[in-house]
């Protein structure tokens, strides 16, 4: 959940590292630091807070010089956010510098061993044992490569590590296990990052390390070996993202920019994959396993957070459109379940980053059970994409805002297409495809009313509690809307299936506990209206998301936001957009940094 960058080449490394850290700040922003190598020495500078604090502390008349360096933004796991716990960490002599993403599970026993052998620790982190462990082996045999590999063999956990050695001033070392790390290939220069977004504008050619591999990187050469120091092959992959996509443009926040990218994201996700006139969906990522998928009798969807809520929509889609029984599990809980799996069961894992630790662990468990695994991810070459049997990319472009918005829309679009891909009854799919092509234009109509949502947010931003209600396809949207409001405004919000409200949550209803009701005109709208009557009878405040032309809702709700009409399976693609905007405006009006909400990180690579 931290951010890692590295550079080796002919340019001064500090500006490159700082720019990379800014690009990765959404992954962690408790503290930041850099280590720069020059003439056999390593200079380390750290600061608590965002990267701009570190940048200010480095703004002197004599900037740190050096064409090799590593940098880090931290999301605290071990030890409070302070300068001592910030990365990079070093050994006793200051020869070795290390940045680390992940968790070293056996750090306590290693730390005890090292302290008993005279090593002095300065921080409370698990990371600091790495440079000291390498140093300990160096003291025994004085060969850095041997010391590095001996140390790595003793470490257990999930990690991405980038290491500098002052006595090897032209080399960076990198390794990973269950945590992302990518090498950027340049011209007489090379880069490292925990996320490809940090490489945008520098290179589009990257190498994704596999678990257990160790890369030795100079400005002109990259070699990769396994933990036994046997050479392994690697593939250079071309990135699709460009610099413009990763910048805010004229928007005040990435979150708002990414919400407004929603229409184009949906288009990009289905572009070239559907032909509504031929009632056809073509998903190249699934074609290689098409024959095996014909025998699918049950689907498990495994995901976390916003991706889990997309999966809940997928459950309705697969059962209604494809006629396949489907279950959705939190990936973090699935890995601890013990249940029999019948033949014909497949698992679909959903992750925006493709690196989510809990989802990756659930994928591994599904594979251990012998299940066919499919993935829905946005990041090409990510670990989940590479380790699943087949999959579908979102094509949503980089998402910088920590709270997922456009990636949710792309996930929903992919799940609609997969459901149609699986469907054996094509009589019901052509209308869905025809309507899917109209969805981007309908999202644009919603976005054109953003000022209205801004005014409504002003009316509601003083509340401290909010209830979100929906039924059927809009039940998961209620959960997602509540999550967005929690993430961005720190307002307490709960999402519920509207039918469950009377089984407990109705006790909370009061004028000071408003309800966001998702009530488009559909097969369950009459049931929803009955639930809203129950709220109104108890003097609850109602804010409704309703379909254009609905003349009844205005007499019941205090405020109404209208969306275009669509068919029920595609409603979440529209109903979620005003909830995203509402959360954004409430968060900004309450004075918070919505791109970097407290305690959260974009890619959750620890369990």
List the structure tokens of 469.
Answer: 């209600």
Percent of the chain with pLDDT over 70: 95
Most confident range (mean pLDDT) of 400-404, 475-479, 502-506 is 475-479
pLDDT confidence bin for 605, thresholds 50/70/90: very low
Looking at the fold, whether 34 and 179 belong to one and the same domain comes out as yes
Q: Is the peptide bond before 88 cis (omega within 30 degrees of 0)?
A: yes
Counted domains in the chain:
3
Q: What is the pLDDT of residue 555?
A: 86
Query: Per-residue pLDDT tens for 13-35?
Result: 999 999 988 888 765 568 889 99
- Is 40 in contact with 60 (CB distance < 8 Å)? no
One domain, residues 292 and 422: yes
Instruction: Using the 3D structure, point to which of 409, 437, 465 is the last residue of a domain.
Output: 437
Same domain? 234 vs 254: no
pLDDT digits (tens, 9 = 90+) for 144-198: 999 999 999 999 988 899 999 999 999 999 999 878 899 999 999 999 998 887 8
Q: Is residue 602 part of a domain?
A: no
| CATH code of residue 104 | 3.60.20.10
Judge residue 169's burial from the number of C-beta atoms within 10 Å of its C-beta, 0-12 exposed, 13-18 middle, 19 or more buried: middle
Question: What's residue 237's pLDDT?
Answer: 86
Nearest-angstrom CA–CA distance, 247 and 556: 42
Name which of 104, 43, 50 is nearest 70 in CA terms. Answer: 43
Q: What is the three-class DSSP state of 209?
A: coil
pLDDT at residue 427 above 90? no
Average pLDDT rounded to a whole number, residues 341-349 = 91
Most confident of 380-384, 421-425, 438-442: 438-442
**Amino acid 532: pLDDT:** 84
Do both 69 and 212 map to the same domain? yes
Q: What is the mean pLDDT of residues 572-586?
A: 97
CATH number for 413: 3.40.50.10490
- Tokens for 329, please give them: 């599990």
For residue 244, being part of any structural domain is answered with no
Q: How confident is the model at residue 540 (pLDDT cuts 50, 70, 90)?
A: confident
- Given a contact cutoff of 8 angstroms between Cβ atoms, the answer to whether 96 and 134 are in contact is yes
Q: How confident is the model at residue 415 (pLDDT cuts 50, 70, 90)?
A: very high
Residue 293 sits in the same domain as residue 193 = no
Write down the H helix ranges in 10-143: 13-23, 51-58, 107-116, 129-141
Both tokens assigned to 175: 């390794």
Structure tokens of 567? 């068919």
Instruction: Give the confidence band of 388 by pLDDT, cuts at 50, 70, 90.
Output: very high
What's the average model confidence in pLDDT over 522-538?
A: 85
Please give the pLDDT value at position 546.
Answer: 95
Indicate if 431 and 498 belong to the same structural domain. Answer: no
Per-residue model confidence as pLDDT tens digits over 496-516: 888 787 787 777 887 888 999
Average pLDDT over residues 248-255: 82
> Given this model, what pLDDT does residue 49 score?
84
Dig out the tokens for 263 from the structure.
Answer: 């229409």
Residue 405 lies inside a defined structural domain of this protein: yes
The per-residue pLDDT for 238 is 84
223 and 341, same domain (yes or no):
no
> Is residue 605 assigned to a domain?
no
For the residues 384-406, what does the mean pLDDT come to? 88
Residues taking part in catalysis:
2, 602
Domain containing 511 equals 448-596
pLDDT value at residue 355: 84
pLDDT at residue 201 in the model: 83
List the end-to-end C-alpha distance of the chain, in Å, as a whole number: 10
Could you tell me if 95 and 168 lie in one domain? yes
User: Is residue 555 in some structural domain?
Assistant: yes
Q: What is the mean pLDDT of the chain?
A: 89
Per-residue pLDDT reduced to its tens digit, 116-155: 999 999 998 899 999 999 999 999 888 999 999 999 999 9
Looking at the predicted structure, is the pLDDT value of residue 338 above 90?
Answer: no
| Residues in CB range of 205: below 8 A, 6 or more apart | 184, 185, 186, 236, 237, 238, 239
Q: Given 175, 207, 239, which residue is the final one in a domain?
A: 239
Choose the final residue of a domain: 192, 219, 239.
239
Residues 479 and 419 in one domain: no
Question: Over 50: is that where the pLDDT of 572 sits?
Answer: yes
Q: Do the domain assignments include residue 278? A: yes
- Asked if residue 335 is part of any domain, the answer here is yes
Give me the pLDDT at residue 409, please: 97
pLDDT category at 484 given cuts 50, 70, 90 is: very high
Percentage, residues of the chain above pLDDT 90: 61
Q: Per the domain annotation, does 92 fall within a domain?
A: yes
388 and 512 housed in the same domain: no
69, pLDDT greater than 60: yes
Are 136 and 285 contained in the same domain? Answer: no
Read off the DSSP letter of residue 548. T
Same domain for 433 and 453? no
């Amino acid at each position: 959940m931290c951010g890692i960058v590295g550079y080796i080449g002919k340019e001064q490394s500090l500006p490159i590292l700082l720019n990379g850290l800014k690009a990765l700040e959404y992954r962690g922003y408790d503290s930041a630091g850099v280590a720069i190598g020059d003439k056999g020495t390593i200079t380390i500078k750290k600061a608590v807070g965002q990267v701009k604090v570190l940048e200010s502390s480095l703004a002197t008349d004599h900037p740190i010089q050096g064409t090799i360096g590593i940098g880090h933004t931290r999301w605290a796991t071990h030890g409070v956010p302070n300068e001592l716990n910030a990365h990079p960490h070093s050994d006793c002599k200051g020869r070795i510098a290390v940045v680390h993403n992940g968790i070293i599970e056996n750090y306590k026993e290693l730390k005890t061993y090292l302290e008993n052998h005279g090593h002095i620790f300065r921080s409370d982190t698990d990371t600091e044992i790495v440079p000291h462990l390498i140093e300990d082996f160096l003291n025994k045999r004085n060969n850095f490569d041997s010391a590095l590999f001996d140390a790595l063999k003793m470490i257990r956990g999930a990690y991405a590590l980038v290491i500098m050695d002052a006595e090897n001033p032209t080399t960076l070392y990198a390794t990973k296990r269950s945590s992302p790390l990518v090498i950027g290939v340049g011209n007489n220069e090379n880069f490292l990052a925990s996320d490809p977004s940090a490489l945008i504008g520098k290179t589009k050619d990257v190498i994704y390390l596999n678990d257990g591999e160790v890369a030795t990187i100079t400005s002109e050469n990259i070699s990769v070996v396994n933990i036994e120091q046997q050479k392994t092959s690697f593939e250079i992959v071309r990135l699709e993202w460009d610099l413009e996509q990763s910048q805010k443009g004229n928007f005040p926040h990435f979150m708002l920019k990414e919400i407004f990218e929603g229409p184009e994201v949906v288009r990009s996700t289905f572009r070239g994959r559907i032909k509504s006139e031929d009632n056809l969906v073509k998903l190249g990522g699934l074609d290689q396993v098409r024959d095996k998928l014909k025998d699918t009798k049950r689907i498990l969807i495994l995901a976390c957070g916003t991706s889990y809520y997309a999966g809940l929509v997928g459950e309705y889609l697969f059962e209604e459109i494809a006629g396949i029984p489907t279950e959705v599990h939190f990936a973090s809980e699935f890995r601890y379940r013990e249940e029999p799996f019948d033949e014909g069961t497949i698992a679909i894992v959903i992750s925006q980053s493709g690196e989510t630790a809990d989802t990756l662990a659930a994928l591994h468990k599904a594979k251990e059970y012998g299940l066919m695994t499919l993935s829905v991810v946005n990041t090409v070459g990510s670990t989940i994409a590479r380790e699943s049997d087949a999959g579908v990319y979102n094509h949503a472009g980089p998402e910088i805002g920590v709270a997922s918005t456009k990636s949710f829309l792309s996930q929903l679009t992919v799940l609609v297409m997969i459901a149609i891909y699986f469907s054996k009854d094509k009589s019901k799919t052509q209308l869905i495809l025809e309507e899917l092509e109209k969805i981007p234009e309908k999202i644009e109509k919603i976005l054109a009313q953003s000022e209205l949502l801004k005014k409504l947010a002003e009316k509601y931003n003083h509340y401290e509690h909010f209830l979100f209600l929906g039924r059927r396809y809009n039940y998961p949207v209620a959960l997602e809307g509540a999550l967005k409001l929690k993430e961005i405004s720190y307002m307490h919000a709960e999402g519920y299936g509207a039918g469950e409200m009377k089984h407990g949550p109705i006790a909370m209803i009061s004028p000071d506990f408003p309800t966001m009701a998702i009530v488009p005109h559909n097969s369950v709208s009459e049931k929803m209206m009955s639930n809203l009557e129950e709220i109104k009878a108890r003097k609850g405040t109602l804010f409704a998301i309703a379909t254009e032309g609905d003349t009844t809702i205005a007499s019941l709700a205090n405020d109404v936001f209208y969306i275009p009409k669509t068919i029920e399976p595609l409603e979440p693609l529209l109903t979620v957009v005003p909830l995203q905007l509402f959360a954004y405006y409430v968060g900004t009006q309450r004075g918070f940094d919505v791109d970097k909400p407290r305690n959260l990180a974009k890619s959750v690579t620890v369990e």
